[in-house]
Structure 1
Amino acid sequence: MYETSTLKEKIKLFIIILFPILVTQISLNLMTFFDTVMSGRAGAADLAGVAIGSSLWIPVSTGINGIVLAITPIIAQLLGAKLKGEVPKIVQQGIYLAIAFSFLIIAAGASVINPVLSLMDLEPEVSNIAKYYLISIGAGIIPLFIFNTIRCFMDGLGQTRASMIIILISLPLNVFFNYIFIFGKLGIPAFGGIGAGIATTLTYWVVCIISLIVMLRVHPFREYNIFGSWYLPSLRLWANQLKIGVPIGAAIFFETSIFSAVTLLMSAYDTYTIAAHQAALNFAGLLYMIPLSVGMALTIVIGFEAGANRYKEARIYGYIGMSGGVFIAIFAGVILFVFKGPVAALYNTNPEVIELTKQFIFFAIFYQLADAFGAPIQGALRGYKDVNMTLIIALVSYWVIGLPTGWILANYTSLEPFGYWVGIIVGLSCGAVALLWRLIHIQKKYANI
């Protein structure tokens, strides 16, 4: 990270930071994409089982990752304030906290997985695949959260290319592991959808080990000498991270969990409908990585400028990000509309599943428009460490407005399963408007500083 003085310099720096984040996020999402696509090739039940398992796992993982994300604006602001000596302590405490949350999730998951799945009206084969997919993923929780902590440290320094390279190395490995464990190669039994969970866990361990090596051996990270001095766990520093991270994590949880809740509600429909819903949601999620990456880049640059009390510069970066969000929304909508047929055929060969997937993708065009506008604004607000209002907005727009609207439309109109998607569109649109209002308020607050 460095100071900029002209708009051209800001756009250049923003793109330098954004592009590796975008590649990283798309690559991470491609792991889920390949899990879903390759599981679908094993059978509709495997696709549905992975869909249910993912719907339970993703809100938890993204929620905890949201807590870890607090490290990015903390380090960016320390860098802007020229307090580099505080960085090693922050990173170590972040790793401690990530490990603590990992054990908490493993313990909680072991106690609730059977009761939760038994509440759902699933076919026995689908339920079995979902259960053991989740158990397999559980073995990779600790390395996943350690990696995300290290990644946030790297990104907070503005060195976003490092995590991009790590993920690009691991992505082909994930596909290779999927091929082996899903379809049964090299003498290993075919696990179907469960194999996708095994492959993902192995990938998490590889990513974690590589990221530790890079942090300790590669410039400029080794200059921070993260483990040069060992610090005992500090409840005070944990509290500082949690003060920012819990609202971020909760807001992300409320957003991602509404999609998971809809998937669980879809269990009332047949396996083909569940599979088609998950396929459409999976591809739309891949496109969502673009505005999400813009938001993550805004957190870094705005955090850096806010740490140095250059709020005018931070505001300019906000405008750059929002302008990019509008362009992204249009671009992603066109992609979804033009390629909905070929995309649907990627996930399954069954004609009925393909046709249902195309219909779900049509609705995805509209909800991603609001998401592509709201995600950059969330990232900008995180750069200011303004996270509490974002939490409230997420709770109200998604769970008070979006999900109830979708349930009413699904159960009392002819839309049926598509009604849930209309509800998501309504919730995300309300959230985007509220987030824009909050960002304008924060910018005015710091206008005269």
Structure 2
Amino acid sequence: MFEHVKRIATLAWPVLIGQLAIIAFGVLDTAMVGRYSALDLASLGLGNSIYISVYMALSGILIALMPIAGHLFGAGRSNEIGNEVRQAFWLAAGLSVIGVAVLAWPAPLLRLADAPPELAGRTTAYLQILAIGVPAGLVFRVFNSLSTAISKPRMVMTLQVIDLAIKVPLNTWFIFGGWGIPALGGPGSALATTLINFGSAAIGLFLIARHRDYRALAVFERFCWPQWRHQLALLKLGLPMGLSYLIEVTSYTFMAIFITHFGTRVLAGHQIAANLGAVLYMTPLAIGIATSTLVSQTLGARDPVQARALGLHGILMAGGMAVVLTSLVLALRHQIIAAYTPDSLVAAAALPLVTIVAFYHLFDAIQCSTGFALRGYKITTIPTIIYAVALWGVGLGGGYVLGFNVPGTLPELFTGARGFWFANMASLVIAATSLLIYWLRISNPSHRYAMGHPSIHAE
């Protein structure tokens, strides 16, 4: 077990640092745009919720390259990975058309949000700049997935940390103006992100072409057009992945919209809990990605017994870390909330929610790590159905019933924002239990998926 934990940790820590750098992007934008104007901060919040929903859904599809390339890498068939990467780039080009179209003309989505004209105008400007960077962002996602699949996550981490360092001066320049550039406010942060996306994509392509760890894959040694069999395989795996990301993002977006009805202080308390939950999630996410990589490589090497052991140890590792983090949050919750806000009323609203988040993280860690272990087996459809039923049905539907006390007889403890978080925790209990049971069946060495048969792409 120790050897497996060591291998998982070696891959997980660079992923964790990279993911924390990505979260820091959002924190920087919020803090710096908030100093510019309240209108721009509101447009950032609305625009970012739309952008994240679109980008995560599209980039999630491209993560399909990770288990496909991982199986080939583990099987010693690295010479076939280059073609899979070329096909992923073609798919990224097609998805870019969708992403650019949705973000460049966001009026239907803004009407759905009932945004007033001034807010809609600033949000449109913000999204149109981000739209330009979508192709670059998706190209970098291909590089990210490839690097993880061949156990080179430090390359991605290094670029993400450098991007974060560059983000600070670019944000300052474009948001507040200077050196011939007018103050752009919220759209300035979008311009900084877009330029960084193109820089990262260019470096990623250069590394694939010239770095010794990628050059052997021969990605750019020849040109090829889209091959529909490979495109179908990517989509068969990737579409459920993209949908699962969309389900997760929209469940939290709608949760925030509903909680708005309880007042600004309650909403502020919810935002503290949600942000803390997102930070905690980065640890099981990193462990899950590392576990998925090693499971797919081991299945490619036709060793289902080791694949099952790696998956189990990854899930146990994520659960163990969750127990530690939950204990820390419970012990330090007052100090954590104080670091977010000096407002005593907001702190009072946040305290019960942060307490719920501490326990909710235990189940979040199990569902996340188990879901990624299943991706190592090229299993994506059934988990997505589980997420839809749990997060949308139980989480949002149950949250609405509890939060707004639809029966009219619920105790106060389970109503309001707490009702939404209790329902969300219940949805994760269901998702974690269902995914774990399903993984135990799929990972059985006698099961056809455990053999990693190359003709099997998804269930």
Q: Which residue of 1 aligns with 2:436?
A: 436
SS at match of 1:224: coil
Counterparts of residues 2-401 of structure 1 (less than 5 Å): 7-42=1-36, 45-111=39-105, 113-121=106-114, 126-186=119-179, 188-268=181-261, 270=263, 273-340=266-333, 343-344=336-337, 353=346, 356-358=349-351, 360-401=353-394
Paired letter, 1:19: W
Distance 1:212 1:53, change over 3 A: same
Paired letter, 2:241: I
Provide the C-alpha distance between the structure 2 equivalents of 1:192 and 1:341, rounded to a whole number of angstroms: 34
- The question of whether the paired residues in 2 share the 8 Å contact of 1:44 and 1:271 is answered with no
- How far is the alpha carbon of 1:29 from its aligned partner? 2.0
| Partner deviation per Cα, 1:222-257 (whole Å, 9 max, x = no partner) | 222211111111122110111111112212221222
- How far is the alpha carbon of 1:279 from its aligned partner? 4.2
- The question of whether the paired residues in 2 share the 8 Å contact of 1:378 and 1:390 is answered with yes
SS at match of 2:443: helix
- The question of whether the paired residues in 2 share the 8 Å contact of 1:266 and 1:273 is answered with yes
Provide the C-alpha distance between the structure 1 equivalents of 2:332 and 2:36, rounded to a whole number of angstroms: 23
Paired letter, 2:171: N
* TM-score for both structures, normalised by structure 1: 0.90
- The question of whether the paired residues in 2 share the 8 Å contact of 1:166 and 1:207 is answered with yes
Question: Which deviates further from its counterpart, 254-263 or 229-238?
Answer: 254-263
- The question of whether the paired residues in 1 share the 8 Å contact of 2:103 and 2:130 is answered with no
| Partner deviation per Cα, 1:105-158 (whole Å, 9 max, x = no partner) | 2213344x2232233355666555444332332221111110010111111111
Q: Cα RMSD over matched residues?
A: 2.6
- The question of whether the paired residues in 2 share the 8 Å contact of 1:44 and 1:272 is answered with no
Paired letter, 2:235: L
SS at match of 2:404: helix
- The question of whether the paired residues in 2 share the 8 Å contact of 1:40 and 1:347 is answered with no
- How far is the alpha carbon of 1:341 from its aligned partner? 5.0
Provide the C-alpha distance between the structure 2 equivalents of 1:174 and 1:250, rounded to a whole number of angstroms: 29
- How far is the alpha carbon of 1:336 from its aligned partner? 3.5
Confirm or deny that 1:427 pairs with 2:427: yes
Distance 1:356 1:127, change over 3 A: farther
Provide the C-alpha distance between the structure 1 equivalents of 2:337 and 2:112, rounded to a whole number of angstroms: 30
- The question of whether the paired residues in 2 share the 8 Å contact of 1:390 and 1:435 is answered with yes
Paired letter, 2:300: G
Distance 1:78 1:167, change over 3 A: same
Provide the C-alpha distance between the structure 1 equivalents of 2:388 and 2:333, rounded to a whole number of angstroms: 31
Provide the C-alpha distance between the structure 1 equivalents of 2:383 and 2:376, rounded to a whole number of angstroms: 12
Provide the C-alpha distance between the structure 2 equivalents of 1:136 and 1:334, rounded to a whole number of angstroms: 42
SS at match of 1:225: coil
Q: Which residue of 1 aligns with 2:456?
A: none
- How far is the alpha carbon of 1:197 from its aligned partner? 2.3
- How far is the alpha carbon of 1:392 from its aligned partner? 1.1
- The question of whether the paired residues in 2 share the 8 Å contact of 1:23 and 1:164 is answered with yes
- How far is the alpha carbon of 1:198 from its aligned partner? 2.4
Distance 1:128 1:420, change over 3 A: farther
Alignment size in residue pairs: 442
Provide the C-alpha distance between the structure 2 equivalents of 1:144 and 1:107, rounded to a whole number of angstroms: 15
- How far is the alpha carbon of 1:11 from its aligned partner? 2.8
- How far is the alpha carbon of 1:48 from its aligned partner? 4.0
The answer for unaligned runs of 5 or more in structure 1 is 1-6
Distance 1:51 1:284, change over 3 A: farther
Provide the C-alpha distance between the structure 1 equivalents of 2:263 and 2:291, rounded to a whole number of angstroms: 42
Paired letter, 1:165: T
Provide the C-alpha distance between the structure 2 equivalents of 1:196 and 1:281, rounded to a whole number of angstroms: 22
Paired letter, 1:159: K
- How far is the alpha carbon of 1:338 from its aligned partner? 4.8
- How far is the alpha carbon of 1:396 from its aligned partner? 0.7
Provide the C-alpha distance between the structure 1 equivalents of 2:418 and 2:203, rounded to a whole number of angstroms: 42
- The question of whether the paired residues in 1 share the 8 Å contact of 2:58 and 2:99 is answered with no
Q: Which residue of 1 aligns with 2:454?
A: none
Q: Which residue of 1 aligns with 2:455?
A: none
SS at match of 2:212: coil
Provide the C-alpha distance between the structure 2 equivalents of 1:235 and 1:442, rounded to a whole number of angstroms: 28
| Partner deviation per Cα, 1:247-305 (whole Å, 9 max, x = no partner) | 12212221222112222334545555545533432332122111011111111100011
* TM-score for both structures, normalised by structure 2: 0.88
Q: Percent identity?
A: 29
| Partner deviation per Cα, 1:4-57 (whole Å, 9 max, x = no partner) | xxx443333222211211111221222123223333444555444333322222
